[in-house]
Amino acid sequence: MPTEHLFATGAEAAADLAARIASILSQAVAARGIATLAVSGGRSPRPVLEALRQVDLDWGKVVVTLVDERWVAPDSADSNERLVRETLLQGAAAQARFVPMKTDAADAYAGQPAVEAAFAALPWPLDIVLLGMGDDGHTASLFPGAAELAEGLSSSARTIAVTPPAAPHQRLSLTASAILDSRQVFLQIGGAGKKAVYDRALAGGPVEELPIRLALLQDQVPVDVWIAQS
């Protein structure tokens, strides 16, 4: 079962989560000389990443990558890479090595093999995988109803190309096995709507219905959840 961290506001949750991430990255650098962090996109991680970049860390020994990416140009407003570059990779934190998920390939399916090779070269397990969750229970870009969902939940590959059934843009996503090949999974949720989805996921049921269950209903890797009421 996840360990829950409850906060009244998103700002308080973000500050606490950023401090926890910084502590783990610092310990990883001290222990292994390198730290790895995979972050989600969307709206939720922005305040966490902005707080994290201000932390005094040996950023040159930190590898930052993505949990998922939309197949859009890196300067698109929808790009998760752009989010990370604008919020986290600033100041001293710009010394971190960023491993993108978007290539120049024509689409996500053509791009996946090169991304898979880049991810195979990372030091696994990742120290932290920071997940978000959509209102439909998707996490990373593992969407309920997607044609690629079963493969994303079962494949031993680290990455998969996905076409979401409703959301825009083809995606590149970590698979469930890659998400769980980590030392620590964090999940960030905010607001009553997402809390209701989270509670439903936690109550049990098929992963295919609410893919966030892949992280919540497992005992392979510790999962901590930061929950903000607003």
Ligand X SMILES: O=C1O[C@H](COP(=O)(O)O)[C@@H](O)[C@H](O)[C@H]1O
- Which residues lie near ligand X (CB under 6 A)? 40-44, 67-68, 80, 132, 134, 141, 167
User: Rounded to the nearest whole angstrom, what is the least distance from the CB of residue 144 to ligand X in the complex?
Assistant: 13
User: Rounded to the nearest whole angstrom, what is the least distance from the CB of residue 111 to ligand X in the complex?
Assistant: 16
Between 29 and 119, whose beta carbon lies closer to ligand X? 119
Between 29 and 83, whose beta carbon lies closer to ligand X? 83
Between 36 and 40, whose beta carbon lies closer to ligand X? 40
User: Rounded to the nearest whole angstrom, what is the least distance from the CB of residue 5 to ligand X in the complex?
Assistant: 17
Tell me the CB-side half-sphere exposure of residue 136, using CA atoms within 13 A. Answer: 13
User: Rounded to the nearest whole angstrom, what is the least distance from the CB of residue 132 to ligand X in the complex?
Assistant: 2
User: Rounded to the nearest whole angstrom, what is the least distance from the CB of residue 84 to ligand X in the complex?
Assistant: 11
DSSP secondary structure letters along 62-99: EEEEESEEESS-TTSTT-HHHHHHHHTSSGGGGGSEEE
User: Rounded to the nearest whole angstrom, what is the least distance from the CB of residue 29 to ligand X in the complex?
Assistant: 25
Between 27 and 86, whose beta carbon lies closer to ligand X? 86
Between 92 and 153, whose beta carbon lies closer to ligand X? 153
Between 29 and 162, whose beta carbon lies closer to ligand X? 162
Q: For residues 57 and 53, give the distance between their C-alpha atoms in angstroms, rounded to a whole number.
A: 9
